[in-house]
Structure 1
Amino acid sequence: MRTVAALLFLFTCLESFESSSATPVCTNGFTLINNKCLKLLNTPVNHKAAEISCSSFGATLVTVKNDHDNQAIATIVGSSTPLVWLGLYCFSSNSSQCLWDDESGSARSYNNFSSGFPLVALGQCVYYSTQGALTGKWLSAECESQRMAFVCELPTTFADNCLHNYNGYCYTFSSSPQTFIGAQSTCAQTCGNLASVHSPNENRYITTFAPQDYYYIGAIWKTDYSLRWMDGSAWDYNNIDPIYPNRYNYCLHMSTITTSGSGFWYGDDCSLSRKYVCKREAGVPCTTVPPPVTVRPSSTNPSNCNAGLLMSPGVFTSPNYPQNYFNNENCTYQLSTLGSYRITLKFSNFRTESNYDFVSVYDGPTTSSPSLGRYSGNIGSFYVSSSENNMLVTFTSDAGVVFQGFTARFYSVVHRS
């Protein structure tokens, strides 16, 4: 309880800094257009390679939310290339099923598709035309075989000499571990705090640039079970792993390990020493040192057998888990994530009738996609990763012996070059 009391005291002592009134700027050679930072890359590549290239800047492929955004693409591209990828992926030929890479939602509220588009029969990725009668229009294309230039997008920030400057804040990733209180005190020495995280894009930025490890972030689980950020900001985004929503002694860390829930947050013992992420306002001189310093429950039986499209992150199981599954099961689990990610799938407690009851995993949306493995027997826990943003899992059992089956969780992982 002493640790908890100390954390709550630190939380109540924290003071907010005034936002910088400096002029917004762009980093990494991006150009400020319509209050966005844009960068044209002229080398023609497929959609996946374009996403990976943008992520190397902590950026996404360009998103378009209004007419001004649409015109901004024409401005940055000019006459240098006729076609550029957008950060938009369509699951059907309906704009409400076309989702932006920045996880801001669908293109239903605004889009500029050419007549008859989107048309996923031609491809599920979307590009922007900059020349001719189709200037400014969006069209569908096959994601892997088509190659074209692309525009990356970053939010504006403020001028600062920090290495990792994103959306008005500077981030530092520690190389040596400390306890939660020690980490917060170290961050405070440079007028920062352990990082609060307020959007999928910010979460992805951290996982992109932080070396693979486990890092304290600035969240505490208070005695009333509410979650609060150490810097006093609003709790408006949550990425706690849905399969591990336990509070476990009041502190949270983030995984940046590709094979261990990269990007997810986990409850942790505050007295453990871990690496950590500091965050401070960009462009604000550090003249004085500040004082040191609703979770979604998972389903009890999330089988999702033949449930249709399952968006990451999620959990599925064999039917009737943790009890034995039934004879003659025939389950399909269609897993998907946004176009800028791939999927990592973790099976736990895997136990089926060896050589008779099988789980098959495919690197794509159908059984004709490349096989990632066919599994049967008493295997325990293991991981499978896709190369794209779709994965298909099937489970079949015969009329003979039945076993407990399996539980599995899947989550999104940033493409790493």
Structure 2
Amino acid sequence: MKSSIFLFSLVILSFLAELSDAKIACPTGFALVNQQKCLKIFPNHLKHLEAELDCTHFGGTLATIHNAIDNRAVSNFAANAGVQNAWIGVFCFENQTTSCYYDDNSGRLSYNNFIPGHPRLDNGYGGCVYMTTSGKNAGQWSSGPCGVVGLAFVCEVPTTVADPTCLHNFNGNCYLPSHELTGSPPNATYSDARGICHSNSAELASIHSHQEVDFIRTIYKDLDFYSVLIGGQVSADGNNVTWVDGSDFDYNYMNPIGQTDGNCLQMNTIKSQTNNGLWSKFKCERINYFLCKRKIGDAVNPKFKSVASIKDKPTHTINLADASHCNSTLFLAPGIVTTLGYPNSVEGIFCTWKIGVLGAYRVGIYFTDFSINGALNIYDEYGNLIEAPSISRYPFQALGPTNLVSMTHDSRYDKPGLYHGFSATILPY
């Protein structure tokens, strides 16, 4: 009995030692607030989208607030920096709080502190949300026009674990780009790249959120690399992906119109492309730059644990056979939109789609199949025509300038002209 108690005590002491060694930390320039938030104040005044994009350069978002304690902490944090009003990570699509979502993709608001009458999107107001930090409205939120007013802002990134040996530290992981490794070539085949990662106590990188994509993009933002190898392997039938570090394939950023082939994955890092970061297939025997990743304080586990279908993600599909999805529904990415009855031609109707993305991102529309009679008109949120593709086209993309776009098409003339409609994958970029 005594020996069992002694062994149990050793286990507890070992666990506590690991906790003390794994010190919660924030990236350079960010402050740890409430032992759970890494925040940084930017006093320069930017429009909402500009502020959001600045936060993505750190792999973060505008600050998200999920309870009254965090609300007070963020308000005090901004006020102590001399900021009176600051953008926060909330966007509202309508005048009700149920239409408001967090920037970090955690869903609808679970807490809010709007002043009476807000959110308000009409009469010159808008869906972007800011916090007042002084006076009688200190700590309260208001909605305002996204593209008109410039305000200070608060960025938030995930907490991480302190590691003085790690140059690229994010969310408890250390990232090791091949061009920074010593004693090994910066380019390698997939198999050799894995071996080099293993020699650095790491594995080819898996990716699990858009924020992680943003962080990795920042590593390569000043380099002229076309792409880098990451740790995905594609099944022989091309439909399934596994991460070689054994983690779940719980986030998908495959390029819907990618034309490459192979059983390994690469991430687009072309700095001139605003929507870089997408993944595509890559031939494993070819050499390329690559990215290693290790869990700070943990050993590498290369065992496969899960398989997810590329075709299963994104999963939200609008069924246009249900007329309520036509002309009325706000569709939030990621997902797929199609013409009525696609891929079979049916007697259609005039349809309007209103499409939005959450967080610090803009709408990317990737047409994987396109065959219509007449034009599909694509508008930005202000009603300006972005593009009007028509007839039959090879896979192509249309990129919205903000987080809202709308599309209109009269499909009544598709079937008589033997056109079968379109299918488009919607992704944030």
When normalised by structure 2's length, the TM-score is 0.77
User: Match for residue 278 of structure 1?
Assistant: 292
User: Match for residue 337 of structure 2?
Assistant: 316
1:172 alignment partner, SS class = strand
Contact kept? 2:104, 2:359, Cα under 8 Å: no
Once the two structures are TM-superposed, the CA of residue 135 in structure 1 deviates from its matched residue by 0.9
User: Match for residue 9 of structure 1?
Assistant: none
CA distance in 1, matches of 2:129, 2:274: 31
1:54 alignment partner, SS class = helix
User: Match for residue 132 of structure 2?
Assistant: 129
1:174-228 CA distance string (max 9 Å, x none): 3544332211111112111111233342233223434564433324467999865
Q: Specify the code of the residue in structure 1 equivalent to 2:332.
A: M
1:352 alignment partner, SS class = strand
2:421 to 375, 381, 405: 405
- The correspondence of residues 72-111 of structure 1 with structure 2, limited to 5 A, is 72-79=73-80, 80-107=82-109, 109-111=110-112
2:42 alignment partner, SS class = strand
RMSD: 3.5
User: Match for residue 55 of structure 1?
Assistant: 56
User: Match for residue 117 of structure 2?
Assistant: 116
CA distance in 1, matches of 2:400, 2:90: 19
Contact kept? 2:316, 2:336, Cα under 8 Å: no
User: Match for residue 147 of structure 1?
Assistant: 150
User: Match for residue 44 of structure 1?
Assistant: 45
Once the two structures are TM-superposed, the CA of residue 402 in structure 1 deviates from its matched residue by 4.1
2:251 to 221, 238, 247: 238
The structure carrying a bigger helix percent of its residues is 2
Once the two structures are TM-superposed, the CA of residue 343 in structure 1 deviates from its matched residue by 1.6
Contact kept? 2:364, 2:400, Cα under 8 Å: yes
1:25-71 CA distance string (max 9 Å, x none): 22231112112221111111110111122122222111111222112
User: Match for residue 159 of structure 1?
Assistant: 163
When normalised by structure 1's length, the TM-score is 0.79
Q: Does the C-alpha gap of structure 1 residues 209 and 386 become closer, same or farther in structure 2, counting only changes over 3 Å?
A: farther
1:117 alignment partner, SS class = coil
Once the two structures are TM-superposed, the CA of residue 352 in structure 1 deviates from its matched residue by 3.2
Contact kept? 2:263, 2:283, Cα under 8 Å: yes
Q: Specify the code of the residue in structure 1 equivalent to 2:55.
A: C
CA distance in 2, matches of 1:49, 1:315: 27
Work out whether 1:358 is the aligned partner of 2:375.
yes
Contact kept? 1:127, 1:141, Cα under 8 Å: yes
Once the two structures are TM-superposed, the CA of residue 24 in structure 1 deviates from its matched residue by 2.4
Structure 2: gaps of 5 or more residues: 1-17, 180-185
Structure 1: gaps of 5 or more residues: 1-17
Higher relative contact order (CA 8 A, sep 6+): 1
Once the two structures are TM-superposed, the CA of residue 88 in structure 1 deviates from its matched residue by 0.8
Q: Does the C-alpha gap of structure 1 residues 378 and 222 become closer, same or farther in structure 2, counting only changes over 3 Å?
A: closer
User: Match for residue 312 of structure 2?
Assistant: 297
Once the two structures are TM-superposed, the CA of residue 169 in structure 1 deviates from its matched residue by 1.7
User: Match for residue 4 of structure 2?
Assistant: none
Contact kept? 1:100, 1:338, Cα under 8 Å: yes
CA distance in 2, matches of 1:260, 1:178: 27
